[in-house]
């Protein structure tokens, strides 16, 4: 499985955009990039995923570089409720144990007033 | 829509005792997962069911852990006997169908297990 590298922690001011980077330099051509987040004492929550093109939904935007070796999750107007651990995951090819989501340690985002 | 339900929310046991966790997935979700999350780490997959069949249990410590999903709906994860290192949050997740590679996983709030 392609591995991802994320900063251990980041701070963001409330109301500002939070940009969370992720490196996945060994990603394969048909592997998707997924983002989940985990608020304290809750299970992970799906945010967004993409393959090649940039994606946007009601929660966030996902920017994937042209060579697909890195991506950035953007929370356009961070609130205190966005304080959480954010996981960048590369989804392996389908087949056996592949195709499962493999979580790393993620980035702890702290949104401050 | 109702989310993934798990119980109990917390459990404290002594080592060598047994414990069971219950999960009720979102209605209609064929795939069910059990994850273990040790403090400070990301969730680690223990077992994956497609309907009532096991798809992947390669990371399940089978000498002490067992899981079943009778009738392809609810699932139970059991630990017998528990060890100190089993202290963790046990998360259940479900998704519509793992054959769809772009599926989203929906997680429950987990059961926090403390083994003393």
Closest partner residue to A103 among B40, B42, B58, by Cβ? B42
pLDDT tens track for B23-55:
999 998 988 999 999 999 999 999 999 888 998
Beta bridge partners of B32: B49, B94
Cβ within 8 Å, pair A44-B98: no
Cβ within 8 Å, pair B56-A100: yes
CB-count exposure of residue A81 (10 Å: 0-12, 13-18, 19+):
exposed
pLDDT tens track for A33-73:
999 999 999 999 999 999 888 999 999 999 999 999 999 99
Q: Which residue has the tokens 């290192």?
A: B85
Q: Let me know: does B90 contact B35? Beta carbons within 8 Å.
A: yes
The pair of three-digit structure tokens given for residue B108, joined into one six-digit string: 């429950």
Task: Give the distance from residue B55's alpha carbon to the nearest chain A alpha carbon, in angstroms.
Answer: 7
CA distances from B19 to A78, B71, B82 (A): 40, 22, 8
pLDDT at A94: 56
Cβ within 8 Å, pair A46-B106: yes
pLDDT at B101 over 60: no
CA distances from A108 to A39, A77, B56 (A): 10, 17, 29
pLDDT at A91: 80
Which helix or strand (DSSP H or E) is residue A75 part of?
strand A70-75
């Amino acid at each position: 499985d392609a591995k991802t590298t994320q900063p251990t922690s980041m701070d963001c001011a409330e109301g500002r955009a939070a940009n969370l980077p992720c490196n996945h330099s060994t990603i394969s051509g048909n592997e998707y990039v997924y983002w989940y987040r985990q608020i304290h004492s809750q299970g992970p929550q799906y945010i967004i995923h993409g393959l090649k093109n940039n994606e946007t939904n009601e929660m966030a935007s996902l920017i994937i570089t042209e060579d697909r070796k890195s991506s950035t999750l953007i929370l356009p107007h961070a609130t205190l409720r966005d304080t959480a651990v954010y996981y960048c995951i590369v989804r392996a090819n389908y087949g056996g144990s592949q195709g499962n989501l493999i979580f790393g340690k993620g980035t702890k985002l702290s949104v401050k007033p | 829509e109702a989310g993934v339900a798990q119980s109990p929310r917390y459990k404290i046991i002594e080592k060598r005792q047994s414990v069971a966790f219950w999960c009720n997935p979102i209605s209609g979700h064929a795939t069910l997962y059990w994850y273990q999350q040790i403090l400070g780490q990301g969730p680690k997959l223990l077992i994956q069911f497609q309907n009532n069949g096991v798809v992947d249990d390669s990371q399940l410590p089978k000498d002490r852990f067992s899981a079943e999903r009778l009738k392809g709906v609810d699932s139970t994860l059991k630990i017998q006997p528990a060890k100190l290192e089993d202290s963790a949050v046990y998360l259940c997740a479900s998704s519509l169908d793992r054959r769809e590679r772009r599926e989203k996983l929906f997680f429950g709030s987990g059961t926090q297990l403390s083994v003393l």
